[in-house]
A and B are shown apart, each in its own frame.
Chain A
Amino acid sequence: MLRVQNISTYYGQICALDNVSLKIEENEAVSVIGANGAGKSTLLKTIIGELRPKSGDILLNGQSIIHEKTFKLVSRGMTLVPEGRHVFPLLSVWDNLILGGYTLPAKERQQRAEEVTEPFPILRDRKNQLAGLLSGGEQQMLAIARAMMTAPKLLLLDEPSMGLSPKLVLEVYDKITELHMQGTTILLVDQNAEMAIDFCSRGYVLMAGRLAGAGTKEELKQSEIVQRSYLG
């Protein structure tokens, strides 16, 4: 479904991604783990078109997307739930959802908002509240539900458990599992390496902008780098 081929991404002179390749097949859940500053967010931003790679190519269903604008990629069935959630703080919870469905026909938005909030009853209870006044965990759920409005085929998740209490982390992962079961392909980045590895069938390890390893869930758990650096 998605092929990342030898991409390198720079911030000015700083090389944040160096010759990184990976692939994701339909209905897979794939993790990317790595320390702070390893380049995980940069990778997701490059895939979604917020950053342009200096070299390499990214193929979505066989077509190169490195020149495609972010908003167009969204209508092609891919979206990103960014690190830090980025809900619209001065709009209501419901308006945040409706905007998530911007590319849908007007008639379908309300109906779809009802559907995506099915697993998140708290969002229904708070539908008229300003999104900026939700708790961190509630904002995370809103960000995920909002991204689901367009029923993306491929969902990129950046640190969905950041800043959440252990109980909320489990809850958020429950919801993501549900979405995955319903057929959403997922590329997941999380500080919480154990959760991320467990959730996904395969994963990649990034270190200082380079790919330092890859493998199935079991292989990653056994792998020495991962054991030493992330699982302790």
Chain B
Amino acid sequence: MFFDQLINGIVLGSIYALMAIGYTMVWNVLRFINFAHGEVYMGGAFVSLYLLLLDTPIWLAYLGGVLAGALLGYLMEKAVYMRMRNAPKLNLLIAAIGISIFLQNLAQYIWGATPERLTSPFLYKNIQIGDMMINQHYIFIIILTILVMMVLELFMNRTIMGKAVQAASQNISATQLMGINANKVISVTFAIGSAVGALAGILVGPVFLVYPTMGIFAGLKGFTASVMGGMGNIPGAMVAGLLLGIIESFAAGFISSGYRDAVAMVILLFILLVRPQGIFGKIIQQKV
């Protein structure tokens, strides 16, 4: 029971962590919360589903969904947010909510509102560890999440583009003085954050099903995790996502499954009140 809940929590937490990365990365370069990120998660899952209906091999369908998610995030930024660079952040927030509602309706119009299950090559297989049976798809989720985090870590700290993304989050006007095209850095950030968000949607598709409003709660949880981890702090978002998933899972298992979402929101409120900079915070020091 304890270990079952722990595994469930880690799986859920992996998804939240992947979602949180998108919020935090976008915050880093634009200082706003992209409330349409949940719809990137939904969009990626739907595109994979659609590709599978066309008899695309499963790995290609997954990859297609991830790429579609990246494209969706990229287009969102180019078409809307980029045109609002000098607008008050509140306007961007409202634009994001508008995009989010639009995309939910668009998905419903194209694919309908009936939840559908994405296929997974692993869903009906288990792995036995000791006397525990663990669903192989869960293991798949955990492994992919770890992989994504490693790749992201390498990208951010070992490539010049990753360093440019970090620089843009610290002082975007100075990045231009380095000869860096800040708009390109922002595009790259959106594309990566969105690809990771879409991957999260595709990974849950076989378990929690795919439907137009699936991004709402996942978005809220990812957002909660990014606040917990300290907005803008990528490793913080990863750890906080995992933590949130585990806490929720134990709350559901040992209190009642009805309280699962309430627990997340209580944590969000608590953090906003007690530690608004997040558990791991973010240090900004600049001598002038």
Contacts and interface: CB of A to CB of B under 8 A. Distances in A.
Interface stretch (A69-77, A169-177, A184-192, A194-202): A69-77
A133 B285 contact: yes
A48 B177 contact: yes
B134 to A, nearest CB: 39
Contacts, number: 83
A137 to B, nearest CB: 10
A135 B285 CA distance: 12
Given A74-B177, A103-B179, A146-B178, A90 B166 contact: yes
Contacts of A69: 176, 181
Interface in B266-286: 283-286
A86 B177 contact: yes
A136 B164 CA distance: 23
A18 interface: no
Contact of A82 (B170, B174, B179): B174
A31 interface: no
Please classify how large the interface on chain A is, using the bins under 10, 10 to 19, 20 to 34, 35 or more: 35 or more
Please classify how large the interface on chain B is, using the bins under 10, 10 to 19, 20 to 34, 35 or more: 20 to 34
Interface centre among B174, B284, B285 (most CB of A within 10 A): B174
A195 to B, nearest CB: 20
A74 B167 contact: no
A99 B159 CA distance: 10
A86 B175 CA distance: 9
Interface in A195-230: none
B160 A75 contact: no
Given A99-B180, A132-B287, A86 B174 contact: yes
Nearest to B283: A90
B173 interface: yes
Nearest to A135: B287
Interface string B147-185: 000000000000010011011001101111111111000
A79 B177 contact: yes
Given A88-B174, A91-B170, A102 B287 contact: no
A162 to B, nearest CB: 9
Interface of A: 48, 50, 69-71, 74-75, 79-80, 82, 84-91, 95, 98-100, 102-103, 106, 109, 130, 132-136, 139, 146-147, 150, 163
Interface of B: 160, 163-164, 166-167, 170-171, 173-182, 283-288
15 contacts: A69-B181, A70-B176, A71-B180, A84-B288, A88-B166, A88-B171, A90-B166, A90-B283, A91-B167, A102-B164, A103-B178, A109-B160, A132-B286, A136-B287, A147-B177
